[in-house]
Amino acid sequence: MPRELDEDDVRIRPGRGSRPRTRQRPDHAEAVPAVVVGVDRGRYSCRPQPWPDRLVAAVRGGSMRRTSVVVGDQVALVGDLSGTDGVLARLVRREERTSVLRRTPDDTDPAERPIVANADILVIVCAVTDPVPRPGLIDRCLVAAYDGGLAPVLCLTKADLADPETITELYRPLGFPVVATRPDQDLTDLHSLLTQRVSVLFGHSGVGKSSLVNRLVPAADRAIGEVNAVTGRGRHTSSAAVALRLPAGGMVIDTPGIRSFGLGAVSPARVLSAFSDLAAAAAYCQPGCEHLAPSADCALDSAVTGGGADAARLASLRRLLAARATPL
Ligand SMILES: Nc1nc2c(ncn2[C@@H]2O[C@H](COP(=O)(O)OP(=O)(O)OP(=O)(O)O)[C@@H](O)[C@H]2O)c(=O)[nH]1
Ligand SMILES: [Zn+2]
């Protein structure tokens, strides 16, 4: 029996997915566009665009063996797309990604690898208390979001137990939405941010992420658990990202078991690009300036003293740049 390749066999290229697809064949013109909503050991659960209520299990076609495919990827399928149990379609193309979140290497997995593609928003879920908030972790998530091309949202859970103001204040200069949630209030603010968008939820164990997912996604759609029935349950289940449909459109991607995002290859320039107000002043820095601390090389401090930039924004940028180097 030929050995089946899976996600673990893929060598992640250092670039950002710009390899020309010379193997693309014209006979795939009729392939059906679909989005990947679950991945398990080389099997992909996909929702075809023309039949979004259908879950089709697929494997990568021959020309795709070295192409990484993750939850959120836009792909093209050929073959039997009926979604019948036990039937496998073939995945013949992966479209360019608009964003990529990467998982940090760990003891069992030495490669930094993509876990979610094409998400618009990273929702960083953090409890106001119990467990105590860890701004260092939030900062690392922010770096991963800016680097991966996602807009961050901070969701502060358990606002019924403590005042979210201290932590909200810390992030105010960054200008992204901060939403506080509590069990006795509805999730209107969060719904309006996430509806019609693709968002990734990330949070450490105990912060209330599962409670949030259950409130955002009605029980019926949780039947996405079927994904695992289609593709088989196994060792990867606990760390696999799964895309769930929001009632009013859009998807939330849950990332159970993922403890942090990869920051190994993050460049200061990509983080800086999320600070448009400071990016212009940074053009006056010496080449190679990492903007980490006040120095003769860094033009950002004089931009602040000259009134062209905000001190709190610069402090936030420096905290994020420093967070890259701080282990969790
Ligand atoms: N008071 C209060 N408790 C909450 C809130 N959200 C969640 N909890 C409680 O916090 C505990 C953890 O919630 P979970 O939803 O399981 O948290 P999780 O982040 O999914 O944790 P894991 O399942 O371990 O990954 C549970 O006892 C919840 O009832 C909240 O807004 N307020
Ligand atoms: Zn600088």
What would the pLDDT profile of 275-288 be if each residue is shown by its tens digit? 888 998 999 999 98
Is pLDDT above 80 for 148?
yes
3-state secondary structure of 20: coil
Residue spans of the domains in the chain: they are 29-94, 100-254, 268-323
The residue nearest atom 26 of ligand 1, judged by CA position, is 208
pLDDT at residue 230 is higher than 50: no
Sign of CA pseudo-dihedral 7, 234, 260, 116: positive
- Residue of 182, 210, 222, 242 best suited for mutating to test ligand 1, as the one with most atoms within 8 Å of CB: 210
Ligand nearest to the CA of residue 190, numbered in listed order: 1
Q: What's at 41, amino acid-wise?
A: R
Residue 25: pLDDT over 80:
no
Q: What is the predicted pLDDT for the residue at 26?
A: 54
pLDDT at 235 over 60: no
Work out the average pLDDT over 178-194: 96
- Tell whether ligand 1 has an atom less than 6 A from the beta carbon of residue 209: yes
Spell out the long-range contacts of 168-174 with Cβ–Cβ below 8 A and sequence spacing 24 or more: 170/135, 171/138, 171/316, 172/312, 173/310, 173/312, 173/313, 173/315, 173/316, 174/142, 174/313, 174/316
The pLDDT score that the predictor gives to residue 101 is 93
Per-residue model confidence (pLDDT) at position 204? 87
pTM over 0.90: no
Residue 23: per-residue pLDDT? 54
- Closest ligand, as measured to the CA of 131: 1
Tell whether omega for the bond before 135 is within 30 degrees of 0, i.e. cis. no
In CATH terms, the fold of domain 268-323 is Ribonucleotide Reductase Protein R1; domain 1 (1.10.40)
CA distance 141 to 203: 10
Q: Both ends of the chain: CA-CA distance in Å?
A: 43
pLDDT (0 to 100) of residue 263? 81
Q: Say if residue 96's pLDDT is above 80.
A: yes
pLDDT reading at 39 higher than 50: yes
Query: Residue 225 has what pLDDT?
Result: 35
Give the amino acid at 306: G
pLDDT for 152 beyond 90: yes
Mean pLDDT for 107-126 is 89
Share of the chain above pLDDT 90, in %: 56
Our CA angle for 64, 254, 160, nearest 5°, is 165
pLDDT of 12 reads 39
- The answer to whether 260 and 102 are in contact (CB under 8 A) is no
Residue minimizing CA distance to atom 10 of ligand 1: 208
291 is in an annotated binding site: yes
Q: What is the pLDDT of residue 273?
A: 85
Ligand 1 close to Cβ of residue 239 (< 6 A): no
Q: Would you state the pLDDT for residue 21?
A: 52
Structure tokens at 157: 């859970």
Q: Is the pLDDT of residue 237 over 60?
A: no
Position with higher pLDDT, 101 vs 225? 101
Cα of 127 from ligand 1 centre, angstroms: 9
Distance of CA 208 from the midpoint of ligand 1 (Å): 3
Q: Is 289 labelled as part of a ligand binding site? A: yes
At 84 the pLDDT is 92
CATH number of 100-254: 3.40.50.300
How buried is residue 290: exposed, middle or buried, by Cβ count under 10 Å (0-12/13-18/19+)? middle
Q: What's the CA gap between 216 and 295, in Å, rounded?
A: 47
The average confidence (pLDDT) of the chain is 84
Using pLDDT thresholds of 50, 70 and 90, give the confidence band for residue 182: very high
Is the CB of 183 within 6 Å of ligand 1?
yes
Tokens in use for 110?
Answer: 């030495």
CATH of domain 29-94: 2.40.50.140
